[in-house]
Amino acid sequence: MMSLLSLELRQNLRQTGEWLQLLGFLLLSLFLLSWFLPVDVLAAHGIAFIYVIAILASLLSMDRLFTSDWEDGSLDLMLLDERGFACRIAIRVFAFWLALAGSLAIALAPALMVMQQPLSWFWPLLGVMGLAALAIVFWGALLSSLTLGLKGAHYLLFILLLPLLLPILIFSLGILEALGQGLPVTGPLLLTAAFCLASVTLSPFLTAGVLRFTLQ
Amino acid sequence: MHYFANPTRFSKFSKAVWPYITALAFILLGAGFYSALMVAPPDYQQGEAVRIMYVHVPSAWLAMGIYSLIGALSALYLIYRHPLAAIAAESAAPIGACFTALTLITGMIWGKPMWGTAWVWDARLTSVLILLFLYLGYIALLNSFNQEERGSRAAAILALIGFINIPVIKFSVEWWNTLHQPASINPFKGIHIDPAMFGPLLMMGAGFLFYFISIWLLAIAGKMAARKKMRLRQQQLWKLES
């Protein structure tokens, strides 16, 4: 299992161009925002800007989770192992999440500087982003298996994923708000974690079922 | 229910009851509109503007009810693989999307004079907007496949995933502080609305429901006819080739 995980992780990290694109999108849009917005707006809402743009950036990268393996047929090979398929998918999505969280961590320090926020936000923001990204990649895996091989899969995935993710966005922004005001974060944190747990445990089985049907 | 799972029997039955349901819908809607606009008293705070309620509330009931119906039918389709369930779910979706849009539009018209704003990003309004997006996503996903069956399955799974939004909408007015009032009519807690207003509201609700069933049966019949036509054309092509 660990060897599978490291294999997936290596495959993910070799796609340097994709991750650079994500980092570029994130930093460029934040830079443009900080260029045009007045300083007091930046100081008040900078964290929320970083958060929302990071979520959008991670949505943009979701559709290539299965596409290349589907095109070259290795997804069919994976499917031969009937019982381990869901587990295999869970590992792949988890590796994708690790790579995503890693690239967000790289981008976060410059992003905080661009948006004129104190660097003490680094760890809390990274934690909340990582938690939300966990739910996003597992939901995204399910939806990208549904839209696999479609013409406008990229946009369709984006449109379908956004409404489904609204609860997690609301709860995780609640954590950031409570942190910013120095209030206890237990309530929204538990809700976010529960949502993540549900998506991590349910999504691989559903995704495996959908892929099995699609490839037949 | 198994009796009606046969498409021929179903279309026979729906053809037989359709005129009665449609007539009932128009009678109820006529009586409902008359009593809502003429007979029911104006509100002591909101005046005549309260009459928007007689359209807003029934269409909100239907917006959520139709999504639940689509969810139930999608589950039936995924479990029993019966094409009629998929056809019924798919033909209800555009109607549900229209009722959701109607809910949002009448709500905005009502909110402008009462709250001073047509739109706020609070829990109830946002979650109904998400419901509209779910309907649109469902329709978009359904129509983006070449193979009918793959599209039906994908859309059914999406409908079931999106079903988590229904309790969020229903309880959003109790879980969060919002501008929108909590429900006045609750089977478990009683009816906190004057009988003079409740009667017309109920009539409008029943009228909307029968109107929905009427156009839903039409849409199902249309979709079944379209599929039959496609099958026949395929058979003709095969005959020409051989």
Comparing A124-128, A172-176, B172-176, which segment has the lowest mean pLDDT?
B172-176
Q: Least CB-CB distance to A163: which of B133, B150, B154?
A: B133
Is residue B104 within 8 A of residue B128, CB to CB? The reply is yes
Q: How far is B126 from chain A (nearest CA, A)?
A: 9
Indicate left, alpha or beta for B185 from its phi (over 0: left) and psi (-120 to 50: alpha).
beta
The B-side interface with A (CB below 8 A) comprises 126-127, 130, 133-134, 136-137, 140-141, 144-145, 150, 153-154, 157-158, 161-162, 164-165, 168
Among candidate residues B92, B105, B164, the one with its CA nearest the CA of residue B131 = B164
Contact status of A160 with chain B (Cβ, < 8 Å): yes
The more confidently predicted of residues A116 and B191 is: A116
pTM: 0.82
List chain A residues with CB under 8 Å of B145. Answer: 150
The residues, any chain, with a CB within 8 Å of residue A92's CB and separated by 6 or more, are A8, A65, A141
β-sheet bridge partners, residue B47: B43
Amino acid occupying residue B106: T
Portion of chain A with pLDDT greater than 90, in percent: 1
Q: Least CB-CB distance to B161: which of A150, A159, A164?
A: A164
Is residue B103 within 8 A of residue B56, CB to CB? The reply is yes
Measure the CA–CA gap between A191 and A178, rounded to whole angstroms.
14
Question: Terminus-to-terminus CA distance in chain A, angstroms?
Answer: 26
List chain B residues with CB under 8 Å of A210. Answer: 153-154, 157
Separation in Å, CA B96 to CA A106, A184, B163, B216? 45, 41, 14, 10
Separation in Å, CA A183 to CA A82, A174, A180, A187, B218? 48, 11, 8, 10, 55
Residue the block writes with tokens 């709500």: B107
Report the run of H or E that residue A173 belongs to, with start and end: helix A153-180
Contact status of A166 with chain B (Cβ, < 8 Å): yes
Q: What's chain A's average pLDDT?
A: 83
The more confidently predicted of residues B128 and A163 is: B128
Q: Provide the pLDDT confidence category of residue A147 given band limits of 50, 70 and 90.
A: confident
List chain B residues with CB under 8 Å of A214. Answer: 150
Size of interface A-B (CB pairs under 8 A): 48
Q: How many CB atoms lie within 10 A of CB A95?
A: 21
Sign of CA dihedral B16, B20, B26, B28: negative
Is residue B114 within 8 A of residue B56, CB to CB? The reply is no
List chain B residues with CB under 8 Å of A169. Answer: none
Residue the block writes with tokens 């974060």: A185
In degrees rounded to 5, what are phi and psi of residue B185?
Answer: -115, 110
List chain B residues with CB under 8 Å of A157. Answer: none
pLDDT of res. B173: 66
Closest residue in A to B137 (Cα–Cα): A160
pLDDT of res. B6: 79
Interface mutation vs chain A, best among B127, B141, B160, most A CBs within 10 Å: B141
Measure the CA–CA gap between B102 and A215, rounded to whole angstroms.
40
Residue A64: CA count within 13 A, CB half-sphere: 13
Average pLDDT over residues A102-116: 83
DSSP state, B82? -
Closest residue in B to A210 (Cα–Cα): B154
Q: Which residues of chain B fall short of a pLDDT of 70? A: 1-4, 173-179, 184-192
β-sheet bridge partners, residue B191: B185
This complex has an ipTM of 0.73
Is residue A89 within 8 A of residue A141, CB to CB? The reply is yes
SS3 B47: strand
pLDDT of res. B69: 94
List chain B residues with CB under 8 Å of A167. Answer: 164, 168
Is residue A210 within 8 A of residue A86, CB to CB? The reply is no
Tokens of A138: 């597992």
Measure the CA–CA gap between A86 and B26, rounded to whole angstroms.
52
Tokens of A100: 């995503």
Question: Terminus-to-terminus CA distance in chain B, angstroms?
Answer: 41
Q: Do A163 and B130 touch (CB under 8 A)?
A: yes
The residues, any chain, with a CB within 8 Å of residue A109's CB and separated by 6 or more, are A119, A122
Q: How far is A47 from chain B (nearest CA, A)?
A: 19
Is residue B92 within 8 A of residue B66, CB to CB? The reply is yes
Measure the CA–CA gap between A140 and A58, rounded to whole angstroms.
10
Closest residue in A to B145 (Cα–Cα): A150
β-sheet bridge partners, residue B190: B186
Portion of chain A with pLDDT greater than 70, in percent: 100
- pLDDT tens sequence across A45-82: 788 888 888 888 887 777 778 877 787 878 888 888 77
Residue the block writes with tokens 């798919």: B90
Closest residue in A to B121 (Cα–Cα): A170
